[in-house]
């Protein structure tokens, strides 16, 4: 394990850089009032989405969260379309109707971000049920935060998945806080893997700042899910760098804590490791960075220049209407 080739190293590093730069760009667009409505940024947690997605196939499904930009990018979303969606533009992946909280790209197997904490966990169980009923060997990765493990839907869905052996890997991105409330203050137990116990599925914790650790862990349980052994819960320890939202003064955590996690930054540590192992050169890393910056600039330019949705779009898509009618 952990030996990877140049191509894969570049892929993982590039995706993490894409997400980081994407989120940094949104922070900047919000400061300039170009992006409205707020966004929950994924910066810091990139290794979770990128590592997990590297362990599954393009035809597998994911369900995402209110902090969903990283999942959408790692599941193969187009940067310009995602950026345009966040700005509410006609060219966005959801035609400007969903926005940051509802990023989805069904064509890529991304069943959507969600404005409701825990709101997509049942959807993941249902996608797993559909796989089982249709008899394919796809799987579902269900992402959610530590805070979501205190919702009713989490418990109801894990029970259902556990009982029916649904092919779902539940991935808890434990960034220590649900908005301002720490796991310690919100949860009756601190070790979130224990929450899988009553639902008869295995659970393991993994270093969510290490993209290869996440990839290995998800690979292990994805294989089980794919071969009918049922679901699992993986808890990735991670950290969000920015506040919960733009207006968050972060009084509930310390600068020291923030620094200690930034010292473990998933992009820096992975880049360094790849150089130490002579898989990537320093120049390759800096070139990747530049490549991503150029991509991002193009995506932002595309999004800003894209038109707003037309007024008649307001009433479209509420219902499906068959083309013949």
Ligand X SMILES: Cc1ncc(C[n+]2csc(CCOP(=O)(O)OP(=O)(O)O)c2C)c(N)n1
By CB under 8 A, which span of 15-23, 143-151, 164-172, 294-302 interacts with other proteins? 143-151
287 or 313: whose CB is closer to other proteins? 313
DSSP for 260-313 reads HHHTT-HHHHHHHHHHHTTSS-HHHHHHHHHHHHHHHHHHHHHHHHSPPPPGGG
Q: Which stretch binds other proteins (CB under 8 A): 18-26, 87-95, 121-129, 167-175?
A: 87-95
Answer with the entry of other proteins, ligand X, Mg ion, none that 67 interacts with (C-beta below 5 to 8 A by kind).
ligand X
Contact 147, 180 (CB under 8 A): no
Query: Is residue 66 close enough to count as binding ligand X by CB under 6 A?
Result: yes
- Report in angstroms how near the CB of residue 144 gets to Mg ion at its nearest: 9
User: Which region among 146-154, 214-222, 227-235, 282-290 touches ligand X (by CB under 6 A)?
Assistant: 146-154
Q: Is 111 in the site for ligand X (CB under 6 A)?
A: no
Asked if 44 touches Mg ion (CB under 5 A), the answer is: no
Can you tell me whether residue 144 is helix, strand or coil? strand
CB atoms within 10 A of CB 120: 28
Segment contacting other proteins (CB under 8 A): 75-83, 177-185, 199-207, 260-268? 177-185
As a whole number of angstroms, the distance between CA 94 and CA 92 comes to: 5
**From ligand X, Mg ion, other proteins, none, interface partner of 88 (C-beta below 5 to 8 A by class):** other proteins
Among 14, 129, 156, 179, binds ligand X (CB under 6 A): 179
Q: Is 147 in the site for ligand X (CB under 6 A)?
A: yes
Q: Residue 289 CB: number of other CB atoms within 10 A? A: 17
First to last CA, the chain: 56
Q: How far apart are alpha carbons 113 and 54 in whole angstroms?
A: 19
Those residues whose C-beta lies under 8 Å from the C-beta of residue 72, and which sit 6 or more positions away, are: 64, 82, 93, 103, 104, 105, 110, 113
Task: Residue 303: name the closest of 35, 56, 120, 7 by CA.
Answer: 35
Nearer to other proteins, 204 or 313 (CB): 313
Which of 46, 60, 81, 146: binder of ligand X (CB under 6 A)?
146
Give the E-state strand segments of the chain in sequence order. Answer: 61-63, 140-145, 168-174, 177-178, 181-182, 203-207, 232-237
Least separation in angstroms between residue 146's CB and Mg ion is 4
Mask: binding to Mg ion, 106-145, rule CB under 5 A, as x and -? ---------------------------------------x
**Which residue, chain included where needed, has tokens 């995506």?**
299
* Residues at the interface with other proteins (CB under 8 A): 36-38, 85, 88-89, 94, 96-102, 114-119, 147-148, 150-152, 178-181, 185-187, 248, 251-252, 308-309, 311, 313-315, 318
Residues of this chain that bind Mg ion (CB under 5 A): 145-147, 175, 178
């Amino acid at each position: 394990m952990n030996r990877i080739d140049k191509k894969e190293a570049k892929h993982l590093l590039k995706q993490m850089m894409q997400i980081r730069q994407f989120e940094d760009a949104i922070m900047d667009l919000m400061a300039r009032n170009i992006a409205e409505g707020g966004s929950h940024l994924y910066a810091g947690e990139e290794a979770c989405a990128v590592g997990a997605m590297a362990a599954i196939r393009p035809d597998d499904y994911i369900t995402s969260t209110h902090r969903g930009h990283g999942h959408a990018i790692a599941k193969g979303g187009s940067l310009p379309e995602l950026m345009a969606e966040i700005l509410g533009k006609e060219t966005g992946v959801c035609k400007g109707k969903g926005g940051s909280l509802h990023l989805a790209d069904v064509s890529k197997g991304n069943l959507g971000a969600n404005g409701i904490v825990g709101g997509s966990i049942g959807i993941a169980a249902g996608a797993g049920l559909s796989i089982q009923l249709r008899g394919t060997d796809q799987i579902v990765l269900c992402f959610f935060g530590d805070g979501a493990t205190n919702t009713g839907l989490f418990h109801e869905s894990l029970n259902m998945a556990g009982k029916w052996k649904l092919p779902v890997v539940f991935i808890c991105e434990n960034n220590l806080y649900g908005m301002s409330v720490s796991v310690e203050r919100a949860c009756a137990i601190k070790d979130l893997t224990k929450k899988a116990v009553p639902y008869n599925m295995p659970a393991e914790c993994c270093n969510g700042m290490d993209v290869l650790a996440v990839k290995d862990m998800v690979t292990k349980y994805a294989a089980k899910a794919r071969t009918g052994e049922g679901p699992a819960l993986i808890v990735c320890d991670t950290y969000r760098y920015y506040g919960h939202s733009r207006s968050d003064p972060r009084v509930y955590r310390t600068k020291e804590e923030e620094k200690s996690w930034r010292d473990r930054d998933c992009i820096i540590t992975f880049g360094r490791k790849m150089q130490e192992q002579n898989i990537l050169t320093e120049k390759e890393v800096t070139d990747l960075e530049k490549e991503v910056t150029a991509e991002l600039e193009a995506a932002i330019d595309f999004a800003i220049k894209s038109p707003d949705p037309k007024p008649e779009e307001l009433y479209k898509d509420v219902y499906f209407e068959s083309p013949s009618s």
